[in-house]
Structures are given as structure tokens and as C-alpha cells.
Chains A and B, each alone.
Chain A
Amino acid sequence: DTEVTQTPKHLVMGMTNKKSLKCEQHMGHRAMYWYKQKAKKPPELMFVYSYEKLSINESVPSRFSPECPNSSLLNLHLHALQPEDSALYLCASSPPSELNSPLHFGNGTRLTVT
């Protein structure tokens, strides 16, 4: 069982839709991440939040908008996506001050853009 919970597990959306992905953790971790993973590729970092502040944006298009309402929650708002944005979206968390701590991943949201 994962300690990082992502909803929904699957999402199909049209290119004109607006949807949100949600991620929650109660491990007291203060760093949270969004990754995008395409088939047969490694996870690709999108955003990092540290102490609820956006610390890294890996040049992600503005149709992806992250939000960190509090230390336990991380959202990814989606608008006007393209079919090539279809992928597995993974949320992860870690204690930010502990470099030797691994990432804890959620189960992911499998997104299909039609």
C-alpha cells in the first residue's frame, strides 16, 4: 500500500476540458513532486514544491498548472491539453532537508487526452 494517494487513477479528457489531478500524503514530507512518464521512458520531472512553495518548474507548458494548498496536498490543474500529453502522471514526496531520503511515489494517474 502506498502512503501517497493519487486521484483519479484513470482520466480521459478532451482537449477543451479542464480537470485536476490530486495528490495527498500524511508522512509530514515537505517536498512534493509531479512527474510525467511516457511508455518505456523514465519519469520526467515537471514541478517541485518545497515547504509549499514552487521551487522547480522544468519549463512545463502553462496548460499544466500546479498548486500546493497545504503541506499534505498537491494538485495539478489541466487545461487545453494535447493528445501528446497522454501519460502516467506520478506524484512523489520526500523530506526536503534529508538528501539521503528516497522519493515515495503515489500509484499515478493514467491520463488519456482525446
Chain B
Amino acid sequence: RKEVEQDPGPFNVPEGATVAFNCTYSNSASQSFFWYRQDCRKEPKLLMSVYSSGNEDGRFTAQLNRASQYISLLIRDSKLSDSATYLCVVNTRGGSYIPTFGRGTSLIVHP
């Protein structure tokens, strides 16, 4: 079983739609969580960190459910420019600090 799992999609939604992605993690020692956005042939860019109480940044809302070991990303009022791959990253405290990536979820927003 992979440590961090995401539905690869693609999620194909019209402009203005609300879309949500989940990411599950298997290591209960995981301590910090992030969503990255990656455009085709570009580097991943930090979209937002995910805090225990949940957090919002404009149209984007991230939530953490430690009991069920998943994080979510909600995008409201989707724009064409939101089309990208969304990568979930989980940091786990251990002998070394290694960020673990999910495989990414592809989002396509169409007119």
C-alpha cells in the first residue's frame, strides 16, 4: 500500500464548479501536510499548507482529518487557470525528515 494515495483523475469540471480532492496517508506519525500545484512541464509550487483546524485561502479550502488520516482540498468557483495537477505532500517525523508525495490529481476546468 502506498504511503500517500490520491485519485489521479482527471477531474473534468466546468468553470464555476466546486471540486474537491482527497488524499489519504498511511503513517499515523505524519505531522505536516501540504498541497502543491504543478503545471505541465513546470516545477511543483506550494498552494497551501494544511493546518489541523482547517484553513482557507480565497477560493481554496484545505482540511485535515487525523482520525481518518486524510486531507482534502476544496476549490470553489473554478477558473480555467486552475487546470493543473494537484499534489499532496506529507511530512513524517522519523530518523530523517522525508516529504512523501502522492501521485497527484489532474484537474481540467473547461469553458
Determine whether A31 belongs to the interface, using a CB cutoff of 8 Å to chain B.
yes
* 9 further contact pairs, Cβ within 8 A, besides A102-B89, A106-B43: A43-B87, A43-B101, A45-B99, A48-B98, A56-B98, A90-B43, A90-B44, A100-B49, A108-B42
Determine whether B25 belongs to the interface, using a CB cutoff of 8 Å to chain A.
no
Task: Give the CA-CA distance A48 to B100 in the complex, in Å.
Answer: 13
Given contacts A99-B32, A100-B31, contact A42 B104 (CB under 8 A): yes
Task: Give B22-43 as 1s and 0s: 1 = Cβ < 8 Å from A's Cβ atoms.
Answer: 0000000001101010000111
B43 touching A107, Cβ below 8 Å: yes
Pairs A-B, 3 closest by C-beta atoms: A42-B101, A105-B43, A100-B32
Residue of B nearest to A43 (CB): B101
Determine whether B59 belongs to the interface, using a CB cutoff of 8 Å to chain A.
no
Residues of chain B at the chain A interface (Cβ within 8 Å):
31-32, 34, 36, 41-46, 49, 87, 89, 91, 93, 96-99, 101-104
Task: Give the CA-CA distance A108 to B103 in the complex, in Å.
Answer: 18
Determine whether A2 belongs to the interface, using a CB cutoff of 8 Å to chain B.
yes
Q: Which of A41, A42, A56, A104 contacts B96 (CB 8 A)?
A: A56
Given contacts A2-B43, A56-B96, A88-B41, contact A100 B91 (CB under 8 A): yes
Residue of B nearest to A2 (CB): B43
Residue of A nearest to B91 (CB): A99
Residue of B nearest to A104 (CB): B46
Question: For chain A residues 30-58, which have a beta carbon within 8 Å of chain B?
Answer: 31, 41-43, 45, 48, 50, 55-56
Q: Which residues of B contact A41 (CB under 8 A)?
A: 103
Q: Which residues of B contact A96 (CB under 8 A)?
A: 97
Q: Within the complex, what minimum Cβ distance (angstroms) separates B41 from chain A? A: 7
A42 touching B91, Cβ below 8 Å: no
Q: Within the complex, what minimum Cβ distance (angstroms) separates B50 from chain A? A: 10
Q: Which residues of A contact B46 (CB under 8 A)?
A: 102-104
A55 touching B91, Cβ below 8 Å: no
